[in-house]
């Protein structure tokens, strides 16, 4: 087992300001390209607007305090799609996420409406 002092030294060396700035600088162009990519943040924002529309149209109305949970559900679906999931795998992921968010007290019909924004149905 590694002594605590060795672990602390290793951790400290990874987070020296000069080291961190070099790591960020080396990834910056890729990060900017991913952010500007039409399938990147622009797509996410468009989907979030559609989710907001679905939440506004939900009956009974969705209390504002629950909106972050619905948006989190939507973002996780978006991420699954952008990781390449589709078909049955995406449906399974959607079902697992729906089960999770139902346990948080969200409404199944509203979760289905949010999933429909991503063309995920039958979950």
Q: In terms of C-beta density within 10 A (0-12 exposed, 13-18 middle, 19 or more buried), how is residue 87 classed? A: exposed
The pLDDT assigned to 53 comes to 95
The DSSP letter of residue 104 is T
Tens digit of pLDDT for each residue in 38-87?
Answer: 677 788 889 999 999 999 999 889 999 999 999 999 999 999 998 899 99
User: Cis bond leading into 112, ω under 30°?
Assistant: no
The pLDDT assigned to 81 comes to 92
Q: Domain ranges for the chain, please list them.
A: 4-36, 41-117
The pLDDT assigned to 38 comes to 66
pLDDT over 90 at 37, yes or no: no
> Residue 15 — pLDDT band, cuts 50, 70, 90?
confident
């Amino acid at each position: 087992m590694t002594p605590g002092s060795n672990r602390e030294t290793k951790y400290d060396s990874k987070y020296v300001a000069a080291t961190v700035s070099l790591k960020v600088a080396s990834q910056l162009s890729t990060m900017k390209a991913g952010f500007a990519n039409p399938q990147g943040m622009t797509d996410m924002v468009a989907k979030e607007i559609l989710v907001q529309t679905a939440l506004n149209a939900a009956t009974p109305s969705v209390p504002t305090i629950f909106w972050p949970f619905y948006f989190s559900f939507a973002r996780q679906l978006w991420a699954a799609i952008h990781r390449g999931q589709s078909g049955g795998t995406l449906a399974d992921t959607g079902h697992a996420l729906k089960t999770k968010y139902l346990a948080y007290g969200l409404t199944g019909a509203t979760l289905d409406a949010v999933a429909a924004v991503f063309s995920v149905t039958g979950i």
